[in-house]
Amino acid sequence: MFRQIDPRSSIPLYVQIADRIRIAVATGEMPPGGALPSVRHLASELRVNPATVVQAYRELEEVGVIESRQGAGTFVRELGQPKREAERQRLARRLVRQLLQEASTLGVTREDLEQALRVEMKVKPS
């Protein structure tokens, strides 16, 4: 599942990790009630500072994606269908935001983008 996190990216590592988990939860890859790897295990596997993993988990807990149970570990919360849909929407909007940012850097106009979207969506099956 993971986890080619990129230390060179300007996105902080803990955000990258948290995002990966959010995506996994939204797609159902990490099912509700499923256990997350321990901080120790993940830090070692990803070769990142354990504090980074702790931060990622804390952020996820704050937004209600995961919950930690005393002595048992950290688990994916039962997100109802609407919540999962909201997650997907959030991710989709983030993708679009990135696209728009890059487009403006490269000097690609909105019209060019819309055109391209139409073409690509027709060609590639959903």
Contacts to another protein by CB under 8 A: 7-10, 12-13, 39-40, 43-52, 105
Q: Which is nearer to another protein, 23 or 39 (CB)?
A: 39
Query: Minimum CB separation from another protein for residue 102, in Å?
Result: 12
Q: Which is nearer to another protein, 55 or 61 (CB)?
A: 55
Taking every pair of Cα atoms in the chain, the longest distance, rounded to a whole number of angstroms, is 55
**Beta strand ranges found along the chain (DSSP E):** 66-69, 73-76
Amino acid present at 35: A
Rounded to an integer, what distance in angstroms lies between the CA atom of residue 82 and that of residue 26? 11
Query: Minimum CB separation from another protein for residue 7, in Å?
Result: 4
Pairing state between β 73-76 and 66-69: antiparallel
Q: Which is nearer to another protein, 44 or 109 (CB)?
A: 44
Query: Minimum CB separation from another protein for residue 43, in Å?
Result: 5
